Amino acid sequence: MKRTYFAIAAGAALVSLFYGAGTTAVNAADQKAEPATMMDIDLAHAVKVANAAAAKSETLKCRMDIAVVDAGGNLKTFMRQDGAWLGSIDIAIKKAKTARYFDMNTGKIGELSQPGKPLYNIEVSNGGLITFPGGVPLKNAAGDVIGAIGVSGSSVENDHACAEAGAAVLTAK
């Protein structure tokens, strides 16, 4: 069954609601974009990233909240699938920001933030970080970080798999 989702795109004093062809979660193969070359993710690529993550969640049979932030850690697009947990909205956004602030997967930050590790208690910095899997930096074709995706709503394994699927559309050929 084909589902349509809403993506909210935030930009300089403008919030637009996109509905239709550009924001429909479909087969992941249909979501491949030209390899990204920009230094900051643009809206078209951010929506493709979110749609690819949503398509992966369909295969995993779970409902997700999906956030994409730009190179500055600002929300670029957000998607909440029908039935996704309300409590995961903030988590998805914080996962995306955490991945961008430190340019690494949030699961890796979690490993480094355990008691006795070098980043212990880092999750209380920056207004609150999320240090478990589901946040992944987004890179352009040259490997430069241009934003990040955060996914929340299921197990951390499913969250991470959906985030990875979203990130993969930027470098797919």
Name the burial class of residue 87, with classes exposed (0-12), middle (13-18) and buried (19+) by CB atoms within 10 angstroms of its CB: exposed
Predicted structure pTM score: 0.80
30's CB contacts (< 8 A; 6+ apart) are none
Helices (H), the chain: 43-60, 88-102, 106-112, 156-168
Cα end-to-end distance, the chain, whole Å:
27
Indicate the SS3 state at residue 79: strand
Note the pLDDT tens digit of each residue in 105-157: 999 999 999 999 999 999 999 989 999 999 999 999 899 999 999 999 999 99
Note the pLDDT tens digit of each residue in 88-106: 999 999 999 999 999 999 9
All domains of the chain, ordered by start, with CATH? Answer: 3-168 (3.30.450.150)
